[in-house]
Structure 1
Amino acid sequence: MTQTQSPTVEDLLQQLTLQEQVSLLSGADFWRTSAIERLGIPQLKVSDGPAGVRGGGPLVGGKKTAAFPVGIALGSTWNEDLLHEVGQHLAREATDKGAGVLLAPTVNLFRSTLNGRNFESYSEDPFLTGKLGAAYIRGLQEKGVAATVKHFVGNESEYQRNTISSDIPERALRELYLLPFEMAVKEGKTWAVMSAYNKLNGTFASENKRLLTDILRQEWGFDGLVMSDWFGSHSAGESVLAGLDLEMPGPARARAALLQEAQNDEALQEAIKTAARNVLRLLERTGVLHQPLDVQDANEKDQEHQDTTALIRRAAAEGMVLLKNQGDLLPFPAGAKVAVIGPNAAKGQVMGGGSAQMNAHRQVSPLQGLQAALGENQVSYHIGCYNDKFLPVHQGGFDIAYQELGSDTVLVQEHQPLGEIMWFGLPEGVPRAFQAKMTSTLSIPEEGRFELSLASAGLTRLYVDGELVVNNWEDYRPGDTYFGFGSDEARGEATLTAGEHTVLIEYRTPEVAHGFGISAVRFGFRKPLPENSIAEAAQLAAKADYAVVCIGTNGEWETEGVDRWGLDLPGQQDELVQAVLQQNPNTIVLLQTGGPVLMPWLNQAPAVLQAWFPGQEAGHAIADVLLGQAEPSGRLPQTFPAQLSDDPTHPETPDLQYPGENGHVEYQEGLYIGYRHVDRKELRPLFPFGHGLGYTTFELSDLQADPTELNPGDALTVTVKVQNTGQRPGQTVVQLYVTDQQSTLQRPEKELKGFAKVSLEPAESTTVQLKLDMRSFAFFDDQQQAWVAEKGTFLLKAGQSSADLLLSLPVQLNADWLDSVQTI
C-alpha cells in the first residue's frame, strides 16, 4: 500500500484489536456508530425515515426537514419510477443531516386492518411492496445513502411487539412476508437490513440464525449489514453468532459483556470479525470511510430544496385515490364558492406518529390549499367537530428548571418552544434521573370553560394559577403514549377569565428505568366546541356551491407502539358528514387516514377522495386534485373491508390469531390476507384492492403472451393494449394476476404478478409489456423446501383492479419446474 492509497476494509480489519472490533458492533449513542480514532475510522450517522429524514434531533421539534407522503400514499401510486425519484431526493435530505444511512423503507405487509403502523408500509400485496421498495432503495443508494429495509420479519402489528412471537406457517412466511425483503435484497441490492422487535416462531428476530444467516445471507446472498431495531437486541455473543452485526442504539446494553464472552471463544471471535467487516463495508459503501460527514446534530442543514418541494406535491397528488365520483362531481370549477368543513380542514395531517414523525418545513392544510387556489373570499370554514385522540398541544412553550431528585437546587434552566417535550438528550449537568418545574403562560381572550391535559413518561402535576387541575402523579395510569412507556392522557377542566394565567407543571422521571430511556411530557389545552357546532357547519355548507368535508384521523390515532382502535372514524365525524350531505348535495368527502375506515354515509356521498397523509404540501396537492390541475391516479394498495368482521384476522373477537395471547400471535389465515381473503370468502368489500377512479376513462384490450407454452425455466412477455377513451389526459394502472388452474396444494384464486403505470392523452393508446418468470407461477412447497410451478394451465388475468379483470388468457407449462432453496 502506497502513501496515497486509502486503507481498504480488509487492511483496517487486520489492524483492529478484538476490543476495537467489539466496539464497532454497538452504537456510540442514539444515532451514531462508534469511531476508532487510532485508525481514522469515523462515525456513521443514521436517521429515521421512511417519509423524510428527521436527523439526529428529538421526535418532537428539531431541525426542519422535508416531509414526503407516507408509505401507503406512495404505495397507492403503483409507480416504481416515482419511488426511485423519491429515494434520490431523500438521499440529499439525509446528506444535509449528516446521515449516511436512512432507516427505511418499511416493507411489512398489511395483514390486519388494525396495524398501528399501517401508514408506513406500502401494500397488502408482497409483489407490489417488493417492487416499490426495491425502486426506493435503488434511488437512495445511487446517491450514496444506505437503505435499511425493515422490520425483518413478522412485525405486522404493534401489540406487545417487543416480546410477542409471530408464529407464521412456512408457506405464508415464504410467499408473503419474506418476499418483499427478498426482492429488496435481490432487486434493490439493499446495503442494510433492520431486524424486527418480535420473535419469529419463538426466537427473537434479532438473534434468529435461520432468518439472519441461513435465509438472508446464504440463500439470498445478502452481503450488507444487519442492525437491531432500537433496544431490540437481547444477547451479546448469541446475537453475533446468529448474524446481527450492529446493536442500536449505543452505548452497548445487550452487548456490554461481549468482549468478556469472546476472550476464550474462537468461533465467537471469528463471528465478531465478520460483523466488524460488515460495519466497515457499510462505511465504505456510503463513502463515509474515506470522506466522513459532519455527524453533529447541531450542524444539520435545514434548507428547503424547491425541486424536492415540487416532487412532494406531485407525489402526494398521484397517490390520492378517487374512491367515488358520482355524476362527475369532481373536478369542480375554479370559480366555485367552497365550504371547507371538518376537523382535518384547518390542520395539515401530513404524517403518522411515532418514529416516522418529523418537524416538516410546513404542514399545508386543505383550507390553506383551497384558499391559495381559489382566493380567500371564495372559501369558508367551520371545524364542525373534533377528531383528536388527545387535546391539542399547547403552543406557548415552557421555561424549564432542572433539579436533582429530591432537591430544590436548580441545576440548569432552558426554554423549550413547544408544549410537548421528549428528552432523548439532556442539558449538560442534568442526570438521567431528574425532576423539573416547567412554567408557561396561557393568554385567554375571553372567559370560558377550558380543557387541560397531561400525558407523560414519568410523573406530572399541572397547576393553573397555583390550583391543581390535573394530577398525573398520584393518579398516574400506564397507557399507550410514548411507545407504550407513557401514561394515559389525564384531563381536567378550569374556568379561566380573560387575560394571562400561569401554568406550572411538576415533572419527575420514571422510577423504573426502561430500555427506551424515554422521559416525556405533553401538555394539552383547548376550549370545547358548542353543542350546536355540527349544525352550524352544515348551515355554512348550505351557502356554498360545493362542500369539502375533511375527516379522518391523525398521527395520534395511527402511530408506533399501539394498534388502531377499530375501523370507525373517531368522534362525531360520521354525524358531521351526514349533516352536511343533507344541506349540500355537492359534497365531497375528503378522507385522510393511514388505512381503511368504515363509511356509513357512502351511499349518500356523491364523491369520496382518499388523500392519506400526503406530506408537507398536503393542502396544495389536495387543491390540485379537487380542481383538476392534477389527476387522482392512485389505486388502493389495501382492500377496504365493508365491516370489521371481514378482516382476515377477525379482530371483533380478539384471540390467538389477533392480537395474540400468552406471548404468541398465530397467522392462522396463512396465505389469505387482503384480496386473497376476499376471493376465498367471496366477500364484497367496500372498495377492492387496486381500485381507483380518475377524471378520464381507459379501455384494455388485446391481451397476448409470448410464448403461450412454457418449458421449465422459460420466461414470457405479456402485452396488453391500453387506450384513453375519455376527454382528458390521465393515468391508469394495468394489473396482471396469475391463476393456477390445477394445483396439488391449495392456492389463492389469483395473485398479482405484474403491473404498470400508464400516462395517456385523450384517444392515445399504447401497448404495455410485462415480464413473467417461473417464480410468477410458483408456490412454495415446505415439504420439499422448494419453489414449485406445476405442469398444467395457468390463467393470466388483466384489468384495472382486483375486481375488474375483464381480460384473460391461458398459458401452458409443459413440465414441472422446481427450484430448491440453495445456500451460496
Structure 2
Amino acid sequence: MDDLDRLVDKLDLEAKVRLVTGATVWRTAAEPAIGLEPMATSDGPAGVRGEGWDERRTSLSLPSATALAATWDESLARSMGELLADEARRKGVHVVLAPTLNLHRSPLGGRHFECYSEDPLLTGRIGAAMIAGIQSRGVAATAKHYVANDSETDRLTLDARVEERTLREVYLAPFEAAVRAGVWVVMSAYNGVNGPTMSENPLLAEPLKGEWGFDGVVVSDWGAVRSTVASARAAQDLAMPGPESPWGAALVAAVRAGEVPESAIDDKVRRLLRLATRVGALSTAPASPMAAASSRDRALLRRVAAASTVLLRNKGALLPLDPHNLARVAVIGPHAAHPRIQGGGSAGVYPESPVTPLDGLRTALYGRAEVHHAPGVHLDGPPAPLDTTTARNPRTGEPGLLVRLLDAAGAEIHAEHRLSGRLPEPGGPIDEAATVEISALLPDAEGSWDVAAAGWGRLHLTVNGRTVIDETVPRHTDDPATVHLAPPYRTTRITLSPTDLADPAHPAEPAHPAEPADPTAGPTAGPTAGPTAGPTAGLTAGLTADRVARHHGGDPATGLAGWRGVELVLRRELVPGGGRACVLAAAPAPLDAAAAMAAAVEAARASEVAVVVVGTTEQAEGEGVDRETLALPGAQDALVSAVAAVNPATIVVVNSGGPVAMPWREEVAAVLVGWFPGEEGGNGLADVLLGRAEPGGRLPTTWADRALTSTTPRDGVLVYAEGPHIGYRGWLREQEPPVYWFGHGLGYTSWAYEELWVPERVVPDRPVRVHVRVRNTGPRPGREVVQVYLSRPHDGDRWLAGFAAVTAEPGERAEVVVELPARAFQHWAGAWCTAEGEVRVRAGRSAADLPLDAAMTVAYG
C-alpha cells in the first residue's frame, strides 16, 4: 500500500465524496484530517484571472492560442507556459484550465482564438510545450475540452458523430500528445461523442486512462456533470463547480445503494490526492510568494506578438518601413485605438496596461513622424463599459464608478469603488443582496449619447433621475459562459443639454420621454450582442458636485467641488439562476458615417503610409456562439478599399482570432495577421512594421472566403461527415484553392529549397529523420519554418508529418533535420497499423508550396 492509499483509507465515504465535488465555483474541498488544502483553479489560456472577476486585480494578457500556434515555436510556447504558471502562483492558483486542444474544424467556430490550429500535429506539439512550461513551476495544466468540442452552437448538448478512424487520427491525437507530455489534468467537455455526454463517455476510460496511461484527474467542464450514477461510474473524477452538484449527498446515497462501487470513488480520490501532491496542496511547506509581473515578462509578450504576426502579402517589398523616410503616417480603423487584445469569454482577463496599435506606432515614431488617427467607420454594437477614463464615482469624485449592494428594502449593505462598469462578479456580500446598483458621473456629457445596461432580470437605468431603460430580461440559456459573463445588452440613445438641475431627485421632464425596449425582442447572447435601440430622450445635463455627492451620502469636498456631470444609475435586481454579471455602459453617439469615412480617406491621402487595422467584434467572434459569416463586421471592407484607392502604400493589419474574408487583398500593398495579440500587441506590431523584428508567423489554419464544414447540429447531432479532411486536407479535395494555405507566411527575406534527403527504405513503427537544405536568398537575416508532408501514391490526401525552424544570414545555406514520428506513417483500423509500400515526402513553406519531393519505401525486414 502506498502513501496515497493510506490517506484514502483514513476517509469515510462522506469525506471522499466531498473531495470529488467542488467546494466552491473555483476551489476543491480541503480535508484537514489528512493535511489536504483546497486547490484553486482558474481559467486560461491567454492569462490567469484568478478565482474572481475583479478589474482591480489585473493579469497579464497573453497572445491568443492561435497567435502562439502561428509561431510554430515550441520554445516560445514553453516560455508562455512558464509565464502562465508564474501568474498562477502570484494569484494563488494551483490548476490553470489550459491549454485548449480542440481543432479548427471549421473557420466559423466562434471560440477558435482559444484553440491552436486545424492540424493535430501542430496542436499537439505546441500544446505539449505549453503544458511542460506550466508544470515546470509546480502548477497543473489542463488539457481541454476532451473531446470533439470544436464548435459553439448547442455546445452543451450536441452529439458529435465521429467515426473511429477520424476520432483517433485527428481529434484525439492532440490529447494523446498532452498525456505523453505528462499533463496532470484533463477536462471533459459538455458535448457528447457518438452518444454519451463526455462526463459519462467510455472514452474517459479508453483510451485516456487505459491505453494512454493517464494518471491524473479528469475534471468536468463547469456544469458538465448532469447525472449522479452514470458519471460516477464513468472515469470522471471531479465534478465542478460546487457545492451544489449532482454528486454530493446523492452520490453518497448511490454508493450505499450499490449503484456505484466505492472502489470507483477511491480511485477518484487517489487521483485527486496525487494532483494535490504535485501542486503542493499536500505539502506542509508554504509556497514561496511570487513577485509582480516584471518588465522582462512584458518584453517576452512583445517578442511573441511579433513572432506570431503573419505577413500574408508584401507587394513591392513595402515592409519593413524605414522610419527615416516617414514624415506622416495615417493609422486608420476602429481597432487601431480600440483593438481586441483577447478573445474574451472564460479566457478573458483584466489586463494590466494594454498597448494599442496606435500607441505602439506613436511611441516608435516619436520625434520622427506625425501619426494621425481616423476611425473611418463605426461598428454596430452597444457602447463600451464605463471606466476610469470616462466616468467618476459620484460619492468620492475618483475616476471610476460607485457600486452598492442593497437589501430587499433598498437599504445599502455594501459600497465600493470600482474601475469598470463591467462587473461579472460585484464584490461584497452579494448573497445577501437583492439589488446591485452601479452609478457614475459623465463629464462633458453634452450632445447625443448611447447608454446601455446588461444583466438578467430587471434592469432599471436612469439618467439624471429620469428612467431611460426599464425592462425585465428573462434568461434563455444554461450556458455558464453566457449566464455569468455575457448577459444581453439593452441600449438607448439620449440627448443631453448643458442645463443645471435644481434637484437630482426631481429632474426636469425630458422633451421626448423614453420608453423601455421592446420586451418581445428577446435577449441575444454575446457580451456586447443584441442592442435594442430605444427612442431619443432629451435630458438636461449638469448635476452640480455637491448635490450629487450628498445624494449618495458623500462629501463634495473629496474631489468633485466645482465639477459638473451627468449621473447614470443602474439598478439590477438579482434573480435566482441569473448570475451576478451586470454592465453600465455609455459613449457619445457615433459621428455621421459619410463624414467619418471621408476623414479617414483624407488622412490616408495626406500620408506616405496608411496602416488600416480591421477586425472582428465580440458579437462576431466569441465564446458561446459560432460565426455566421467570415466577412468583417460593418463597413470595414469598404474602408480598406477607399483608403487603398488614394494611397498605394496601404498596409492592412487583421485583428481577429481566426480567418476572415479579405475581398480587398489584391488592392493593398501588404497584409498582416496580428491575431488577438495580448497587451503588448501594439508594441509588437510597431516592431514588425518598422523592421525591428521579423513577422515570424506562419498560418496555423487555412484562410479562405468560405467554410467547407458546418458548425450547426441537426436535431442535436453534428456529423463530422468530412472525416479527417478538415482545413488544408479538405481544401486539397476542392477545385478552387483557398486564399492562403495552412503554413503560409512570408517574413522579410526569401528562401530557396535546394535539397531533400530521405532514407530509401525505413522500418515501420520507428521515427524517421529527413534532411532539408535551404538558402537565404534575400537581403536580411531570417527564420524559416521547414514543413514536411507525407502522402501515398495515387492518393490526393496529404498530411503534416513534421516541421523544424532554421535561421540563416543573407546568402547562407542551412540544413535542418526534421523528425517524422512513427505515428505519421500509421492509420487506425481497430489498432495502429502501418501500411507497407511507397510514401511520398514533400518539403516546403506551406501545405501547397512544396518544391522538394522524394520517395521512401516502408517495409518490414
TM above 0.5, one fold? yes
Partner amino acid, structure 2, of 1:521: V
Superposition pairs for residues 196-215 of structure 1, below 5 Å? 196-208=189-201, 210-215=202-207
Q: Which residue of 2 aligns with 1:821?
A: none
- For residues 660 and 339 of structure 2, the distance between their equivalents in structure 1, rounded to whole angstroms, comes to 19
Task: Summarize the Cα distance change of 1:503–1:207 in structure 2 as closer, same or farther, 3 Å threshold.
Answer: same
Partner amino acid, structure 1, of 2:423: I
- Deviation by residue 1:754-778 (Cα, 9 ceiling, x = unmatched): 0012222212222111222432112
Q: Which residue of 2 aligns with 1:13?
A: 8
Superposition pairs for residues 591-610 of structure 1, below 5 Å? 591-610=654-673
Superposition pairs for residues 686-705 of structure 1, below 5 Å? 686-705=739-758
CA contact (8 A) 1:364 1:619 kept: yes
- For residues 674 and 694 of structure 1, the distance between their equivalents in structure 2, rounded to whole angstroms, comes to 23
Of 702, 708, 721 in structure 2, the residue corresponding to residue 648 of structure 1 is 708
Superposition pairs for residues 724-739 of structure 1, below 5 Å? 724-739=776-791
Deviates more, 1:245-254 or 1:691-700: 245-254
Secondary structure at 1:483 match in 2: helix
Task: Summarize the Cα distance change of 1:142–1:436 in structure 2 as closer, same or farther, 3 Å threshold.
Answer: closer
Of 346, 349, 364 in structure 2, the residue corresponding to residue 373 of structure 1 is 364
CA drift of 1:488 comes to: 3.6
Task: Summarize the Cα distance change of 1:518–1:659 in structure 2 as closer, same or farther, 3 Å threshold.
Answer: farther
- For residues 732 and 683 of structure 1, the distance between their equivalents in structure 2, rounded to whole angstroms, comes to 27
Partner amino acid, structure 2, of 1:369: G
Of 485, 489, 506 in structure 1, the residue corresponding to residue 571 of structure 2 is 506
- For residues 144 and 471 of structure 1, the distance between their equivalents in structure 2, rounded to whole angstroms, comes to 50
- Deviation by residue 1:59-98 (Cα, 9 ceiling, x = unmatched): x624112111110000100111111121122211111111
Task: Summarize the Cα distance change of 1:773–1:624 in structure 2 as closer, same or farther, 3 Å threshold.
Answer: closer
- For residues 203 and 292 of structure 1, the distance between their equivalents in structure 2, rounded to whole angstroms, comes to 42
Residue 720 in structure 1 maps to residue 765 in structure 2: no
CA contact (8 A) 2:456 2:488 kept: no
- For residues 583 and 338 of structure 2, the distance between their equivalents in structure 1, rounded to whole angstroms, comes to 22
Q: Which residue of 2 aligns with 1:806?
A: 851
Of 813, 825, 833 in structure 2, the residue corresponding to residue 777 of structure 1 is 825
Q: Which residue of 2 aligns with 1:520?
A: 582
Secondary structure at 1:52 match in 2: coil
CA contact (8 A) 2:382 2:491 kept: no
Q: Normalising by structure 2, report the TM-score.
A: 0.87
Secondary structure at 2:758 match in 1: strand
Secondary structure at 2:658 match in 1: coil
Q: Which residue of 1 aligns with 2:403?
A: 400
Task: Summarize the Cα distance change of 1:388–1:625 in structure 2 as closer, same or farther, 3 Å threshold.
Answer: farther
Superposition pairs for residues 320-469 of structure 1, below 5 Å? 320-335=309-324, 336=326, 337-375=328-366, 378-387=370-379, 389-395=381-387, 396=391, 397-405=400-408, 407-423=409-425, 427-428=428-429, 430-431=430-431, 434-445=434-445, 447-469=446-468
CA drift of 1:481 comes to: 10
- Deviation by residue 1:668-691 (Cα, 9 ceiling, x = unmatched): 111111001100123311111111
Q: Which residue of 1 aligns with 2:524?
A: none
Superposition pairs for residues 86-105 of structure 1, below 5 Å? 86-105=80-99
Residue 195 in structure 1 maps to residue 188 in structure 2: yes
Q: Which residue of 2 aligns with 1:179?
A: 173
CA drift of 1:47 comes to: 1.4
Residue 750 in structure 1 maps to residue 777 in structure 2: no
CA drift of 1:432 comes to: 6.4
Superposition pairs for residues 10-49 of structure 1, below 5 Å? 10-49=5-44
- For residues 754 and 718 of structure 1, the distance between their equivalents in structure 2, rounded to whole angstroms, comes to 10
Of 114, 124, 127 in structure 2, the residue corresponding to residue 130 of structure 1 is 124
CA RMSD of aligned residues (A): 2.2
Query: Alignment length, in residue pairs?
Result: 778
CA contact (8 A) 1:240 1:268 kept: no
- For residues 116 and 420 of structure 2, the distance between their equivalents in structure 1, rounded to whole angstroms, comes to 32
Task: Summarize the Cα distance change of 1:426–1:773 in structure 2 as closer, same or farther, 3 Å threshold.
Answer: closer
Q: Which residue of 1 aligns with 2:515?
A: none
Of 223, 228, 237 in structure 2, the residue corresponding to residue 231 of structure 1 is 223
Q: Which residue of 1 aligns with 2:521?
A: none
Of 305, 309, 315 in structure 1, the residue corresponding to residue 304 of structure 2 is 315
- For residues 787 and 609 of structure 2, the distance between their equivalents in structure 1, rounded to whole angstroms, comes to 34
Q: Which residue of 2 aligns with 1:659?
A: 712
Q: Which residue of 1 aligns with 2:596?
A: 533
- Deviation by residue 1:642-701 (Cα, 9 ceiling, x = unmatched): x32xx121x4xxxxxx31122111111111110011001233111111111111011122
CA contact (8 A) 2:56 2:418 kept: no
CA drift of 1:291 comes to: 4.3
Secondary structure at 2:815 match in 1: strand
Task: Summarize the Cα distance change of 1:266–1:39 in structure 2 as closer, same or farther, 3 Å threshold.
Answer: farther
- For residues 616 and 386 of structure 1, the distance between their equivalents in structure 2, rounded to whole angstroms, comes to 23
CA contact (8 A) 1:348 1:364 kept: no
Partner amino acid, structure 2, of 1:600: P
Of 802, 826, 831 in structure 2, the residue corresponding to residue 786 of structure 1 is 831
Task: Summarize the Cα distance change of 1:524–1:245 in structure 2 as closer, same or farther, 3 Å threshold.
Answer: farther
Task: Summarize the Cα distance change of 1:797–1:366 in structure 2 as closer, same or farther, 3 Å threshold.
Answer: same
Q: Which residue of 1 aligns with 2:66?
A: 72
Secondary structure at 1:202 match in 2: coil
Secondary structure at 1:461 match in 2: strand
- For residues 631 and 570 of structure 2, the distance between their equivalents in structure 1, rounded to whole angstroms, comes to 35
Partner amino acid, structure 2, of 1:173: L
- For residues 200 and 568 of structure 2, the distance between their equivalents in structure 1, rounded to whole angstroms, comes to 48
CA contact (8 A) 2:487 2:581 kept: no
Q: Which residue of 1 aligns with 2:277?
A: 284
Task: Summarize the Cα distance change of 1:16–1:292 in structure 2 as closer, same or farther, 3 Å threshold.
Answer: farther
Q: Which residue of 2 aligns with 1:655?
A: none
Q: Normalising by structure 1, report the TM-score.
A: 0.91
CA contact (8 A) 1:476 1:487 kept: no
CA drift of 1:226 comes to: 0.6
CA drift of 1:582 comes to: 1.5
CA drift of 1:101 comes to: 1.2
- Deviation by residue 1:574-604 (Cα, 9 ceiling, x = unmatched): 1111111122111101111011111111111
Partner amino acid, structure 1, of 2:205: T
Q: Which residue of 2 aligns with 1:632?
A: 695
- Deviation by residue 1:323-359 (Cα, 9 ceiling, x = unmatched): 1000001111113121111101112421111011101
- For residues 790 and 76 of structure 1, the distance between their equivalents in structure 2, rounded to whole angstroms, comes to 32
Partner amino acid, structure 1, of 2:826: A
Q: Which residue of 2 aligns with 1:822?
A: none
Task: Summarize the Cα distance change of 1:553–1:251 in structure 2 as closer, same or farther, 3 Å threshold.
Answer: same
CA contact (8 A) 1:481 1:487 kept: no
Partner amino acid, structure 1, of 2:785: V
Structure 2: tracts of 5 or more residues without a match:
392-399, 499-541, 543-564
Q: Which residue of 1 aligns with 2:502?
A: none
- For residues 804 and 584 of structure 2, the distance between their equivalents in structure 1, rounded to whole angstroms, comes to 45
CA drift of 1:555 comes to: 4.3
CA drift of 1:554 comes to: 4.1
Q: Which residue of 2 aligns with 1:550?
A: 613
CA drift of 1:786 comes to: 1.3
CA contact (8 A) 1:741 1:792 kept: no
Task: Summarize the Cα distance change of 1:360–1:32 in structure 2 as closer, same or farther, 3 Å threshold.
Answer: same
Residue 484 in structure 1 maps to residue 482 in structure 2: yes
- For residues 701 and 344 of structure 1, the distance between their equivalents in structure 2, rounded to whole angstroms, comes to 42
Task: Summarize the Cα distance change of 1:94–1:215 in structure 2 as closer, same or farther, 3 Å threshold.
Answer: same
CA drift of 1:441 comes to: 1.4
CA drift of 1:289 comes to: 1.3
Partner amino acid, structure 1, of 2:778: G
Q: Which residue of 2 aligns with 1:819?
A: none
Secondary structure at 1:700 match in 2: strand
- Deviation by residue 1:34-63 (Cα, 9 ceiling, x = unmatched): 1011222111111111111111121x6241
Q: Which residue of 2 aligns with 1:144?
A: 138
Of 576, 588, 593 in structure 1, the residue corresponding to residue 651 of structure 2 is 588
Task: Summarize the Cα distance change of 1:137–1:676 in structure 2 as closer, same or farther, 3 Å threshold.
Answer: same
- For residues 723 and 845 of structure 2, the distance between their equivalents in structure 1, rounded to whole angstroms, comes to 26
